[in-house]
Amino acid sequence: MNKIGNYFRESYKELTEKVTWPTWAQLQQSTMIVLVSTMLITALVWVMDFLAGGALNFLYQTLF
């Protein structure tokens, strides 16, 4: 039982003393980077899906 209590004490100490938390400005900047990256990747996947669908439709109409 002592090991469990020791684990929680050390975990709490690590979170409060050893972890460096980002500032509000850093958090906002990181959030914007993630949002913009997500939108760009989504747009890229959408374009690739649109082109592949068009190519497959053309192929199916040509062959059948």
Q: Please indicate, yes or no, if residue 14 is contained in any of the structural domains.
A: no
Q: Please indicate, yes or no, if residue 60 is contained in any of the structural domains.
A: yes
d(CA 53, CA 48): 8
What are 12-40's pLDDT values in tens digits?
Answer: 999 999 999 899 999 999 999 999 999 99
User: What is the span of the domain harbouring residue 37?
Assistant: 22-64
Q: Please indicate, yes or no, if residue 47 is contained in any of the structural domains.
A: yes
Q: What is the pTM of this model?
A: 0.67
Kindly give the residue spans of alpha helices, DSSP state H, lying in 1-64: 2-13, 24-63
Cα distances from 12 to residues 1, 36, 48, 64, in angstroms, run 17, 34, 47, 67
Q: Please indicate, yes or no, if residue 3 is contained in any of the structural domains.
A: no
Q: Does residue 1 register a pLDDT over 90?
A: no
Number of compact structural domains in the chain: 1
Q: Does residue 50 register a pLDDT over 80?
A: yes
